[in-house]
Structure 1
Amino acid sequence: MEIKAKDKETGRKLKYTLLSSELNYNREYVAYFGLAPGETQRIMINSTKLAKTLFMDSRIDNEETKRTVYKVENFSICSFLNNRQISKLFSFLYQEFVGNSTVFKCPIQPGIYYLRNRIGTHMVPAFHPSGTFCLTVRMKRELKRPITIELIWRYKVVRT
């Protein structure tokens, strides 16, 4: 998937290319985490157990320099769902990936949930450096427990 955008301040063009994506899940809690059947723009999560708490680790690594450029650990998803003003960044991303298609609130009940599987031109900031990056998002039900779901996106940013 290739997306082109223009930096409003510099007039430079930016090109974002999704190189690969990987979706992993723990079968103890999730029966399925992947593309919705017959679709390429929606991800389906079939959660099988009640989640009273949920934490997220998120990081972006520059694959060329092997440096981490962004990292958040143990972000409380339930606190965020109860008050999305906790983080403007995550509130924006929540709206982009979840939108009105699914209602998440804690405790998260077993069931089928949908996320959007796309990157809009406005989602990658204009100040994002050029290079090849890996975005990893891991959700876990407890701080010290294994992951419940994991999303890995490799992408490339080119400035022209």
Structure 2
Amino acid sequence: MNGIPVIESVEINCDHDYVEYFKKVPNQDELYTFRVAKKAASFSMNIELRSVKSQRVLYELKRVDGCQFLENQFYKKMFVESYNTLVVNNSFFKCPIAPKVYYLKNLTNALISPTFHPTGHYQAFVQIKMAESPSPFIMEILCKYKVRAT
């Protein structure tokens, strides 16, 4: 990284239908939990990193097939650092996603881990969707942060 990331805010939401809850674990700074209430045979993801000031998109992935993402060797290599940062107790995700309680750690670190990152204010946004859900998303994460010079 070109600078030091400083988290300003993290917002997490869920649809309360396919994902019953998505929240920070009490008394745990870097641990989040969510409960998948219904089996998720397939899902898609939108991932975006943008400058807050200029609104310029630094990178964007739209309608990425979530199951292919989890199984694709190219994506695994490209995002291995972020993915390994997220998983708890080596509980890697695979499709179909079974109904149960899941945990994620270091959520913000995983979202802002590009190897080159100029100083400034940014937001990372991840939105997970399912075709079967009437909601516009089943989970979403918005992380606002700044990168300051080292």
Identify the TM-score tier after normalising by the shorter chain: 0.7 to 0.9
Q: Give, in angstroms, the shift of residue 143 of structure 1.
A: 9.1
Which structure would you say has the larger Rg? 1
Q: Which amino acid aligns with 2:120?
A: G
- Structure number with the higher helix fraction is 2
Q: Match for residue 112 of structure 1?
A: 101
Q: Match for residue 100 of structure 1?
A: 89
Residue 109 of structure 1: SS of its match in structure 2? coil
Find the aligned partners of 1:98 and 1:136 in 2 and give their Cα distance: 19
Q: Which amino acid aligns with 1:159?
A: A
Residue 119 of structure 1: SS of its match in structure 2? helix
Uncovered stretches (5+) of structure 1, i.e. residues with no partner = 8-13
1:137-152 maps to which residues of 2 (within 5 A)? 137-142=126-131, 146-152=136-142
Uncovered stretches (5+) of structure 2, i.e. residues with no partner = none
Q: Which amino acid aligns with 2:74?
A: I
Residue 70 of structure 2: SS of its match in structure 1? helix
Q: TM-score, normalised by structure 1?
A: 0.81
Q: Give, in angstroms, the shift of residue 79 of structure 1.
A: 1.2
Find the aligned partners of 1:123 and 1:131 in 2 and give their Cα distance: 15
Q: Match for residue 65 of structure 1?
A: 54
Find the aligned partners of 2:7 and 2:41 in 1 and give their Cα distance: 33
Q: Give, in angstroms, the shift of residue 101 of structure 1.
A: 4.2
1:1-160 maps to which residues of 2 (within 5 A)? 14-83=3-72, 85-87=73-75, 88-98=77-87, 100-117=89-106, 118-119=108-109, 123-125=113-115, 127-142=116-131, 146-160=136-150
Q: What percent identity do the matched residue pairs reach?
A: 31
Q: Deviations over 1:2-53 (max 9, x none)?
A: xxx7x5xxxxxx2210000000110111111011233221110111000000
Q: TM-score, normalised by structure 2?
A: 0.86
Does the 8 Å contact 2:45/2:129 carry over to 1?
A: yes
> How well do the aligned residues superpose, as a CA RMSD in angstroms?
2.2
Would you say how many aligned residue pairs link Structure 1 and Structure 2? 146
